[in-house]
Amino acid sequence: SSSRNRRGRDRQSDYFAYMHRSRFCLCPSGHEVASPRVVEAIHAGCVPVLVSDGYALPFADVLRWESFSVSVPVADIPRLKEVLEGIPTAEVERLRDGVRLVKRHFTLRQPPERLDMFHMILHSVWLRRLNFRLDH
């Protein structure tokens, strides 16, 4: 049992090691609305590759996702390698710089710090409530 747990931890540490060495991390939309893949990619310092049609992105009302991620429609999955290899090196570095800049917005601190995930969630809720009042 303990060796099985150790193997599971080894696989998990391998997974994160691969992410840290990668320029891009795939973040396909899944069955869950809030998949941890995007946050894991950002914390690993790799550019999230959002594979989805109409993905509802966290904090989209505040963050410019195009400055730190790549969106790929589901129809382009067969060409994914070609699409990613076609992104110029300078653009990849600009996107990775963007990932570093937004990382704090996807980090939960205890106690909360200015502009961390806790504050971003509160801000998003406040904006939605404000927009709801203005629209109705």
Cα–Cα dist 43/19, whole Å = 9
The number of beta carbons lying within 10 Å of the beta carbon of residue 82 is 9
Distant-in-sequence contacts of 121-126, Cβ < 8 A, 24+ apart: 123/59, 123/62, 124/58, 124/59, 124/61, 124/62
pLDDT of residue 92: 98
pLDDT of residue 14: 84
Q: Which tops the pLDDT comparison, 85 or 17?
A: 85
pLDDT band at 9 (very low <50, low <70, confident <90, very high): low
Residue 46 has pLDDT above 90, yes or no: yes
Q: In CATH, what number does 2-135 get? A: 3.40.50
pLDDT of residue 125: 82
Residue 70's DSSP bridge partners are 49
Cα–Cα dist 57/126, whole Å = 17
pLDDT of residue 13: 76
Q: What are phi and psi of 27, to 5 degrees?
A: -130, 70
Sign of the alpha-carbon dihedral angle for 74, 31, 67, 39: negative
Model confidence, pTM: 0.78
pLDDT of residue 6: 61
Residue 135 has pLDDT above 50, yes or no: no
Contact indicator for 120, 59 with CB cutoff of 8 Å? yes
Task: Tell me which residue of 108, 128, 130 sits closest to 119, measured CA to CA.
Answer: 108
pLDDT of residue 67: 97
Residue 12 has pLDDT above 60, yes or no: yes
Residue 47's DSSP bridge partners are 24
- For the segment 49-58, what is each residue's pLDDT rounded down to a tens digit? 998 887 778 8
Residue 136 has pLDDT above 60, yes or no: no
pLDDT of residue 119: 82
Residue 132 has pLDDT above 70, yes or no: no
